[in-house]
Amino acid sequence: MPPRTKQAVATPSTATTMKELKDTLWKAADKLRGSMDASQYKDVVLGLVFLKYVSDAFEERRGAILAECVADGLSEEDAQPLLEDQDEYRGAGVFWVPTRSRWGYLAQHAKGRTATPEEPGATIGELVDDAMVHIMGSNPALAATLPTIFNSNSVDQRRLGELVDLFSSARFTGVGAIRARDVLGEVYEYFLAKFAAAEGKRGGEFYTPPGVVRVLVEMLEPYSGRVYDPACGSGGMFVQAEKFLERHGADPQAISVYGQELNERTWRMAKMNLAVHGLTGQLGSRWGDTFARDLHPDVQMDYVMANPPFNIKDWARTTDDARWRYGVPPAGNANYGWIQHILSKLAPGGSAGVVMANGSMSSNSGGEGEIRAQLVEADLVSCMVALPTQLFRSTGIPVCVWFFAKDKTAGSRGSVDRTGQVLFLDARNLGHMVDRAERALSDDDIAKIAGTFHAWRGTKSAVAAGLEYEDVPGFAYSASLAEIKDADYALTPGRYVGAAEVEDDGEPVEEKIARLTKELFEQFEESSRLEQVVREQLGRIDG
């Protein structure tokens, strides 16, 4: 037998695709786990990615300033005052990074700093913690955001140093000609997805699958204005909104981001995620409960995109809340509390997309049926989408998306007047399995869902693409409010779209039934014959 050859393993400096780079960095980061629990491990790794990002962005801006100075005839020495002017960085949307917080300094001391007469020795964990503290001190927008847990007993300092080395050697600029900062954004999102998968149900608290987020973004088309998420998790809705603008050649700065998050660690992740993607978000000065205290009470939003936690039983509810315009939600379920909070935030021409458990479309418990009827009669519901199962690795609960619009008349949001109508889309048969536990929506699936809605509404994108709406049995149906009332205000798409049309193969129904019946009985007979053969063979063995 010839000797087996050792398979080459990609390293960051040799990785030539985004997938190779992300997989390699994940495997390296995975070595850190040791005795850390999943949430602490997540903070350590994502904190390092963030630190690499801010340092790279700083050095990129520093190089640009120097190039401008040289072009103006200044020497590098004469340019030093400008290179150390913090306003030159902040004015360009770049965080100021103090000298000992820069990646180059940390990489130089990845194995720790040796003591000298001038300064004491320090582990790499101490140096990273100090770097985080100084960055927060120099940038008020990052106050109380960054983790300082790198020198804890549970963090293996040798492996932490190895990870710093690995990030230092990674050629982030060599992956498909993408900017280094964009690559780090991709790495951050990839790590979020991996952590969500690893944490199972808890992972769903901070992560919504990108395919689901893209359904919301592509349907709402947030080209400009205020974008809000009242349960923003790690900020995935905002990141996908920015990517939508980039895909369409629009200005990412045309949207203003507002959000709120209850969990402290998740709020920190969201702040870092927005920073890595160059987004300035208003997430409040700290984390907090949206129901107990709205951090953006006087701001009306143009778009709301949300995946709030489903079926919360213990929540901050008062019966006299001004947000309950359509009925007081039950104490044992916050679903209609989220919906009414979101509606209370919408500007007069605003629209919203909200991921909900399927039960929300038909439940009548605790007065939910009456609230749903009020929402329909107020003509606030524009579209209901039933999504496939298993899109969320963290939960097996089937989900849907509610879309709301404050104004369905012909105008800036669509050329077709849809007053008094609701579009129902049954997308349960779309998607493909990526593994045994998780389904994903393809670009074509998302385009089918969003394109049907835009054709129905007559949006600019649909008109440009030549799309015209028509009902599709089994998938799409435009229902009147009277039809919905006749269905007792149930909003489950399957009740309206009907069954998909069966393609006519030309064979008369009577003949087809006779043929299939004959084939079925033949199969029964063959099965019986095979059973008898097996019994005979087993009898010989026993004999």
Give the CATH number for residue 219.
Answer: 3.40.50.150
Closest CA to 456 of 403, 500, 406, 492: 403
The whole-angstrom separation of Cα 499 and Cα 327 is 34
Residue 91 phi, psi dihedral angles, 5° rounding: -65, -20
User: Cβ neighbours of residue 126 under 8 Å, at least 6 residues apart?
Assistant: 150, 151
Q: Do 315 and 230 form a contact (C-beta atoms < 8 A)? A: no
Both 323 and 416 in one domain: the answer is yes
Predicted local confidence at residue 434, as pLDDT: 87
For 97, the domain range is 18-173
- By mean pLDDT, which of 7-21, 86-100, 187-201, 323-337 is the weakest? 7-21
**For 89-109, what is each residue's pLDDT tens digit?**
988 888 999 999 999 999 999
Question: Residue 144 domain-assigned?
Answer: yes
The CATH number given to whatever domain includes residue 39 is 1.20.1260.30
> Average pLDDT, stretch 414-432?
96
- Judged against a pLDDT cut of 80, whether residue 464 lies above it is answered with yes
Closest CA to 28 of 154, 124, 166: 166
At 392, the pLDDT band (50, 70, 90 cuts) reads: confident
Question: Residue 24 domain-assigned?
Answer: yes
At 2, the pLDDT band (50, 70, 90 cuts) reads: very low
Both 141 and 211 in one domain: the answer is no
Both 361 and 462 in one domain: the answer is yes
Q: Region of 367 please: left (phi>0), alpha (psi -120 to 50) or beta.
A: left
**For 149-171, what is each residue's pLDDT tens digit?**
999 988 889 989 988 988 887 66
At 176, the pLDDT band (50, 70, 90 cuts) reads: low
DSSP-assigned beta bridge partners for residue 506: none
Both 128 and 271 in one domain: the answer is no
Q: Do 393 and 203 form a contact (C-beta atoms < 8 A)? A: yes
Both 131 and 237 in one domain: the answer is no
- Judged against a pLDDT cut of 60, whether residue 383 lies above it is answered with yes
Question: Residue 50 domain-assigned?
Answer: yes
Question: Residue 504 domain-assigned?
Answer: no
- Judged against a pLDDT cut of 50, whether residue 5 lies above it is answered with no
**For 477-505, what is each residue's pLDDT tens digit?**
999 999 999 999 999 999 999 987 655 56
Q: What's the number of domains the chain is made of?
A: 2
**Strands 346-357 and 399-405: what pairing?**
antiparallel
Q: Is the dihedral of CA 309, 266, 228, 353 positive or negative?
A: negative
Predicted local confidence at residue 172, as pLDDT: 61
Question: Residue 531 domain-assigned?
Answer: no
DSSP-assigned beta bridge partners for residue 440: 432
At 174, the pLDDT band (50, 70, 90 cuts) reads: low
Closest CA to 358 of 498, 493, 200, 196: 493
Both 262 and 139 in one domain: the answer is no
Residue with tokens 């963030």: 50
The whole-angstrom separation of Cα 276 and Cα 190 is 13
- By mean pLDDT, which of 51-60, 114-123, 184-193, 406-415 is the weakest? 184-193
- With a pLDDT cut of 70, the percent of the chain lying above it is 91
Number of separate helices (H) and strands (E) present in the chain:
18, 11
At 1, the pLDDT band (50, 70, 90 cuts) reads: very low
Q: Do 340 and 290 form a contact (C-beta atoms < 8 A)? A: no
- Judged against a pLDDT cut of 60, whether residue 173 lies above it is answered with no
Predicted local confidence at residue 259, as pLDDT: 97
Predicted local confidence at residue 196, as pLDDT: 76
Predicted local confidence at residue 422, as pLDDT: 98
- By mean pLDDT, which of 163-177, 214-228, 401-415, 520-534 is the weakest? 163-177
Question: Residue 467 domain-assigned?
Answer: yes
**For 70-93, what is each residue's pLDDT tens digit?**
999 998 889 999 999 999 998 888
Both 267 and 412 in one domain: the answer is yes
* Domain boundary, last residue among 173, 198, 227: 173
Question: Residue 347 domain-assigned?
Answer: yes
- With a pLDDT cut of 90, the percent of the chain lying above it is 58
* Domain boundary, last residue among 150, 173, 196: 173
Residue 228 phi, psi dihedral angles, 5° rounding: -130, 140
Q: How far is CA 437 from the centre of its chain?
A: 18
- Judged against a pLDDT cut of 90, whether residue 135 lies above it is answered with yes
Residue 46 parent element (H or E): helix 38-71
> Average pLDDT, stretch 323-328?
97
- Judged against a pLDDT cut of 50, whether residue 7 lies above it is answered with no
pTM: 0.82
Predicted local confidence at residue 179, as pLDDT: 65
Predicted local confidence at residue 190, as pLDDT: 83
Both 423 and 471 in one domain: the answer is yes
Predicted local confidence at residue 4, as pLDDT: 39
Predicted local confidence at residue 205, as pLDDT: 61
Arithmetic mean of pLDDT over the chain:
88
Task: List, as own/partner pairs, every contact residues 318-323 make where C-beta atoms lie below 8 angstroms and the sequence separation is at least 24, other chains included.
Answer: none
Both 135 and 218 in one domain: the answer is no
Separation in Å, CA 263 to CA 287, 309, 340, 378, 446: 6, 12, 22, 34, 30
> Average pLDDT, stretch 361-372?
96
At 8, the pLDDT band (50, 70, 90 cuts) reads: very low
Q: What is the DSSP string of 344-391?
A: HHEEEEEEEEEEEEGGGGT--GGGHHHHHHHHHHTT-EEEEEEPPTT-
Both 395 and 255 in one domain: the answer is yes
Residue 30 parent element (H or E): helix 18-30
Predicted local confidence at residue 397, as pLDDT: 79
The whole-angstrom separation of Cα 541 and Cα 543 is 5
Question: Residue 528 domain-assigned?
Answer: no
Both 284 and 145 in one domain: the answer is no
The whole-angstrom separation of Cα 333 and Cα 357 is 11
Both 148 and 212 in one domain: the answer is no
